[in-house]
Structure formats: C-alpha cells, structure tokens
C-alpha cells in the first residue's frame, strides 16, 4: 500500500493501537498528523521526532470548535483515522448520567466531530475515513456490565454505516473496525490470567485499518469489520 506524501490524521495516535497504525503509515510514506491531550503519553510516543509525524498538542476532540481548527491546519487530507476513545466497566444501576456522557463524549462525539471535519476537508477530492467500534457494538450481549461503553461504540458503528452512504457520491469511503480485546500492555496487566495468545495483536488490527484507509481500497464502504483474533 502506497501512502506516499498523503496526509493522514490519526486521533489516539500516541496509544498502543495508534502507535502501530502511525508506524505502518509512515513506513508506507504517509505524513501523519497526531493530535493529543495527554502530554506524558506523547512524550513516550516512539515516533514523536519522526520527520513524517506532526504532533499537535492540547486538542480536545469532543470540542466542536477545536476539531475544525485541527483539520483546517492540515494540507490536502487523504484519510482520517479515529482511534481515540475510552473504556469503563459499570453496571447500568451504578452508572450516573455523568458516567454515561463521559463515554458518549470520548467515543461517539469525538468520532462524529472528526468525521464531519474530515468530510469538509475532503470535499471535492475524495478520501478515506476509518472509525473504531468494538465487538460488543456488534454483539450487544457482550456489553453486559459495560452498557454505557457498548452503547457509545454502537453509535460509532451506526454513524459509520450511515455516513458511508451519505458521502460515497463524493468519493469518500467510510468504514470501521470492531476489535475484541487487543494484546496491549495495559490489557495484559488488567487480565493477567487471560489467554493472551488468542488476542488480536495491535499490528494486525493496524494492518486492517491501513487497508481500509488506503488508495488500494476502492470498493469497501459501510463495513464494520470484526478484528477478533482467536478470542
């Protein structure tokens, strides 16, 4: 896949999956624009000094004024990949409205605002958008004990399919991936007794995202692709 000199936004690009995506993109020739809010995570980001990586600090992606400013500062946008989000376990009876809205803001609102800004930036030229849902967003019963998270990610899946139909006439292909538990240091720490070998590797999930965002993807749109590994 050839991303030579193509500009790509990667939200959540300093995280575990984001780092794998950005690494694959720069290897394919892309110029990656990576907004962040967590300075400590950005400092640990291995590609922070790479000449094809542009870190952009203090961007709150649930802010409807900050997101358009972010996208307005990027040259001809080819792809926008939205990995930023958050997770919380909580039974419904113990979930407050504040807890619910935090999940909605982190997962759905960030994706919605970035999709809207990306569509405006790609107007007349086409491009690719990739969101991240989750396995419970497709298999709702798996969301027991984390209903707020599941609902917010199900909204991302619905947004993806609806937007794909809305913008295909403009040459913009919109898709999402739906990971199950991924093999990250944080997940291994949280679940030390799990079968880590069955989990999808971040590099493998990144490869699927890369194809969906690539010029070589000419026909896939409106897909929410399961990336479950063997779990």
Range of the structural domain that residue 166 is part of? 7-227
- pLDDT of res. 4: 97
User: Has residue 170 been placed in a domain?
Assistant: yes
Please give the model's pTM, rounded to 2 decimal places.
0.96
User: Has residue 139 been placed in a domain?
Assistant: yes
User: For residue 89, how many other CB atoms are within 10 A of its CB?
Assistant: 11
The pLDDT tens digits for 61-77 are 999 999 999 999 999 99
Residue in 181, 174, 185 with CA at minimum distance from that of residue 220: 174
Distance of CA 205 to the CA centre of its chain: 11
- pLDDT of res. 183: 84
47 compared with 187, residue with greater pLDDT = 47
User: Has residue 72 been placed in a domain?
Assistant: yes
Burial classification of residue 54, based on how many CB atoms lie within 10 Å of its CB (0-12 exposed, 13-18 middle, 19 or more buried):
middle
SS3 172: strand
User: Has residue 1 been placed in a domain?
Assistant: no
Say if residues 112 and 90 touch (Cβ distance below 8 Å).
no
User: Has residue 120 been placed in a domain?
Assistant: yes
User: Has residue 12 been placed in a domain?
Assistant: yes
List the structure tokens of 213: 């965002």
What is the rounded average pLDDT of the residues 196-214? 95
Total domains in the fold of the chain = 1
The pLDDT tens digits for 112-162 are 999 999 999 999 999 999 999 999 999 999 999 999 999 999 999 999 999
CATH number at residue 34: 3.40.50.720
The pLDDT tens digits for 34-44 are 999 999 999 99
Segments of the chain assigned E as strands: 7-11, 31-36, 53-57, 77-82, 127-132, 172-179, 182-183, 200-201, 224-227
Instruction: pLDDT band for 231, please (50, 70, 90 cuts).
Output: confident
């Amino acid at each position: 896949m050839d991303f030579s000199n193509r500009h790509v936004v990667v939200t959540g690009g300093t995280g575990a999956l984001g780092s794998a995506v950005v690494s694959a993109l720069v290897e394919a020739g892309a110029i990656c624009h990576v907004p962040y809010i967590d300075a400590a995570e950005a400092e640990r980001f291995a590609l922070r000094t790479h000449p094809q990586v542009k870190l952009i600090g203090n961007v709150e992606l649930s802010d409807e004024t900050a997101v358009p400013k972010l996208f307005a500062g990027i040259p001809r946008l080819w792809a926008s990949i939205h990995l930023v989000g958050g997770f919380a376990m909580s039974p419904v009876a113990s979930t407050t409205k504040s807890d619910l809205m935090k999940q909605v803001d982190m997962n759905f609102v960030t994706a919605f605002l970035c999709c809207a800004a990306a569509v405006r930036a790609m107007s007349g030229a086409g491009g690719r958008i990739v969101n991240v849902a989750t396995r419970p967003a497709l298999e709702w019963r798996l969301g027991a004990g984390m209903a707020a998270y599941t609902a917010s990610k199900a909204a991302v899946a619905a947004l993806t399919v609806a937007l794909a139909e809305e913008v295909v006439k403009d040459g913009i292909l919109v898709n999402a991936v739906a990971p199950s538990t991924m093999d990250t240091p944080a997940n291994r720490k949280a679940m030390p007794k799990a079968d880590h070998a069955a989990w999808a590797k971040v590099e493998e999930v990144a490869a699927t995202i890369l194809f969906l965002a690539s010029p070589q993807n000419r026909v896939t749109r409106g897909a929410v692709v399961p990336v479950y590994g063997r779990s």
